Structure 1
Amino acid sequence: MPNSGLNYTRFPGGGDKQWNSKPAWKLPGWAEPVIVVTVLLTGMFMTRRRNYSILNRHSSKGGLLDSLDSNDSSEGLLQYDSDGEHDQDGILSTSKNPAKNRNCCGASIRLPNTSRFKNNIHSRILQKFPFLIEMFYWVINYAFYRFTSIASQSIFAKTGIWGVAQDHGLAVLEAEEFGFLSFLFPIRELNVQKWFMNGHQDALTVLNKAYALIHIPGTVGFLCWYYYVAPNFNTFSIVRRTMTLTNFMAFITFIFYPCMPPRLLPPEYGFLDTVRHDDAQSVWMSGKYVNTLAAMPSMHFGYSFCIGMTMIYHSGVFRRTLEAGEARKGTFWKVFYLAVGLGYPAFLLTTIVATANHYFMDALVATCFVSIAFYCNKVFYVFIPLEDMLLFIIRAEKPVPTTGDRFHERGGRI
């Protein structure tokens, strides 16, 4: 291993690092999946369509579903016309359900109208529980994450991915200390972990549990809550698309730039794997297909930054106009939203650094990815025709979103 020039030493005393506190109680392996499933089922229940029966096909006649196109969740994204000009007998259209002519990237694409399938049982289940669509999209996200480990190991099979990832991790530390952006990193990761190790190990135990439990259950919980309270589906979908695009940019980075987290660096760099010591590993972050060399960027911080910016936006502190469905907040709620928006990312940043799972640079790159994703999130519009075809293949109609409906019916305002 070449000399990187970094001045990293062991903890004071010349010996190995000592963990004096007793390992915390171990969360059973089934607990995390149960938490996530419970959050999702609660989200499905809270966002269900009321006064709609899955078994009674006439339960919605004259109601909401007759007045709204069930493709409303896409119409604001990618326009189409179905004026009947191209209506022909065949697989794409019927006399009652003319084909859609989607306008995508300057081209007109003729696609089938899935409204003919609105009374199929799986379509009606989706209409009753529209949040199932969001759950499906995030299952795809998780599947892509699992794929990154396989792809990266295949690409670096000849050179050895472990050595490449270690070199990248050391390069990150060196860039933080000697690079042109070094002024952004006045505190070193090792100093943060030392502070917790010397006299604050109980607090570090809390951070170990937080690292495992907050990332996926917390993010899933936020998405469920925001689907329920967002002023409209378009506002919700901007946040969801931003997080999804951030995911995909991060996944590409994981594949082509494997980066070893501080906790896996050689012992002479002084970092301790505190999460593993406390048996606090997440069940979602263990197993054959988990990418342990995916420190850059930190999706723990990326998600928290996106969530934090959403909360700050809805605090109303930095904007004068409100969205339809919003009410001006009192001082207490402004402070509350602002505190959560600032405090949640700050807490996660402390967590990922103190537990030696990420570098400060990982958080900076994640912040840049979220910002890019926000301004480029409409790139997902190009997948709407693919969504149309998928729905046609499975003979299902896309549900009308219930975003904000029940919350606002009860007089709530985000």
Structure 2
Amino acid sequence: MSDSTVTDPEGREEVAVPQAVTGEDRRGRLGRLRRPRRPRLWFEILLIAVSYWAYSLVRNAVPEQRSAALRNADWIWSAEHALGVGVEQSVNHAVNSVNWLIIGMNYYYATLHFVMTLGVLVWLYRWHPGRYAATRLVLFATTGVALLGYYLYPLAPPRLMNGGRFVDTVTVHHTWGSMASGDLKHMSNQYAAMPSMHIGWSLWCGLTIFALASVPWVRVLGLLYPTATLAVIVATANHFWLDAVGGALCLGFGFAAARAWYGSLPYALPRLVAVPAPRPLGSAQSA
């Protein structure tokens, strides 16, 4: 028997699942909490705003352990050279020599991190409501565990390392928007480079687009986005590439948390939200 659909006030169709099939009563309260449901716009706006405010507050409240952060940066830089993968300085200086390219990367770093993430959330909310909550949980869990990294492992970005071996491209080219340079640096913890949430969030965006988009070239662009982000964070001397590894590990934790809660990877959930089908008239009397 095929599922019927119902249309919500905003014009979206939802799968209507008969109550006997869902077994919601048997699952109990926990089962009802874990069941995907149609997101509410006002709640999502409030949740995202409050969550980002809390994340920024906690991240910036972590003590700026400058000495430890610089020691850790020296250790990572030495370890990368020992492994033969310490390429950040070469990339930073090479890209910095091309003005239009590095200026573009500075603005990329300052803006797309937020624009793309919010854009993907809106797209999920509108076109994949059944997967929205689970995919949003991945993002929130990723960001939450990153806070532990900032607290447990303070790390100076390459541009703040002793010796001036890296170029702070935002300062040199006087571009705006970075919370890590210029006048805005006093509003942000300068030693919270590990893990990189530019990578954590861009990977979340890229994988979500690749998994759910129906147009092939859009799926390819989804994969190119975190790749370009990796090039940007290295070229602007805001992160070591090992910070990107930390961001990817945090994202892995986020997916594990979502799978544990919903019993499935977010992208495997139904696109539309399952709602109980209306009972036929007179069913209550005959029951």
TM-score range, shorter chain: 0.7 to 0.9
What is the alpha-carbon distance in structure 2 between the residues aligned to residue 207 and residue 313 of structure 1? 27
Cα offset for 1:213?
Answer: 1.0
What is the alpha-carbon distance in structure 2 between the residues aligned to residue 150 and residue 282 of structure 1? 17
Which residue identity lines up with residue 358 of structure 1 in the other structure? H
What is the alpha-carbon distance in structure 1 between the residues aligned to residue 48 and residue 160 of structure 2? 29
What is the alpha-carbon distance in structure 1 between the residues aligned to residue 173 and residue 111 of structure 2? 13
- Whether the 8 Å CA contact 1:148–1:255 is kept in 2: the answer is no
What is the alpha-carbon distance in structure 1 between the residues aligned to residue 171 and residue 150 of structure 2? 22
State the Cα deviation string for residues 41-79 of structure 1 (Å, max 9, x = none): xxxxxxx9437xxxxxxxxxxx99xx89xxxxxxx9xx9
Q: Does 1:176 align with 2:80?
A: yes
Residue number in structure 1 paired with 2:165: 270
CA root-mean-square deviation = 3.5
Alpha carbons of structure 1 residues 369 and 149: separation in structure 2 relative to 1, 3 Å? closer
- Whether the 8 Å CA contact 1:247–1:299 is kept in 2: the answer is yes
5 Å-filtered alignment, 1:13-412, equals 49-50=9-10, 81=25, 102-103=29-30, 130-153=40-63, 161-178=65-82, 182=83, 185=85, 188-198=87-97, 200-230=98-128, 232-233=129-130, 235-266=131-162, 268-282=163-177, 286=184, 288-314=186-212, 329=214, 333-334=215-216, 336-378=217-259
Alpha carbons of structure 1 residues 337 and 284: separation in structure 2 relative to 1, 3 Å? same
What is the alpha-carbon distance in structure 1 between the residues aligned to residue 187 and residue 170 of structure 2? 19
Query: What SS class does the counterpart of residue 10 from structure 2 fall into?
Result: coil
- Whether the 8 Å CA contact 1:80–1:101 is kept in 2: the answer is yes
The number of residues matched between the two structures is: 249
Alpha carbons of structure 1 residues 281 and 296: separation in structure 2 relative to 1, 3 Å? farther
Query: What SS class does the counterpart of residue 310 from structure 1 fall into?
Result: helix
- Whether the 8 Å CA contact 1:146–1:289 is kept in 2: the answer is no
Query: What SS class does the counterpart of residue 296 from structure 1 fall into?
Result: coil
Residue number in structure 2 paired with 1:389: none
Which residue identity lines up with residue 292 of structure 1 in the other structure? Q
Which residue identity lines up with residue 234 of structure 2 in the other structure? V
What is the alpha-carbon distance in structure 2 between the residues aligned to residue 340 and residue 351 of structure 1? 16
Query: What SS class does the counterpart of residue 193 from structure 2 fall into?
Result: coil
Cα offset for 1:80?
Answer: 6.5
State the Cα deviation string for residues 351-406 of structure 1 (Å, max 9, x = none): 1100000110011111121122212225667xxxxxxxxxxxxxxxxxxxxx879x
What is the alpha-carbon distance in structure 2 between the residues aligned to residue 275 and residue 189 of structure 1? 16
What is the alpha-carbon distance in structure 2 between the residues aligned to residue 293 and residue 173 of structure 1? 15
Residue number in structure 2 paired with 1:88: none
State the Cα deviation string for residues 187-214 of structure 1 (Å, max 9, x = none): 510010121133x221111101111111
- Whether the 8 Å CA contact 2:143–2:197 is kept in 1: the answer is yes
Cα offset for 1:277?
Answer: 2.8
TM-score, length of structure 1 as denominator length: 0.53
TM-score, length of structure 2 as denominator length: 0.74
Bigger proportion of residues as helix: 2
State the Cα deviation string for residues 135-191 of structure 1 (Å, max 9, x = none): 2222232223223345421xx7xxxx111111111122122222xxx36x3x51001
What is the alpha-carbon distance in structure 2 between the residues aligned to residue 370 and residue 254 of structure 1? 15
- Whether the 8 Å CA contact 1:260–1:295 is kept in 2: the answer is yes
**Max radius of gyration: which structure?**
1
Cα offset for 1:263?
Answer: 1.0
Alpha carbons of structure 1 residues 150 and 275: separation in structure 2 relative to 1, 3 Å? closer
Which residue identity lines up with residue 376 of structure 1 in the other structure? A
Which residue identity lines up with residue 221 of structure 2 in the other structure? V
- Whether the 8 Å CA contact 2:93–2:167 is kept in 1: the answer is no
Residue number in structure 1 paired with 2:277: none
Which residue identity lines up with residue 148 of structure 1 in the other structure? V
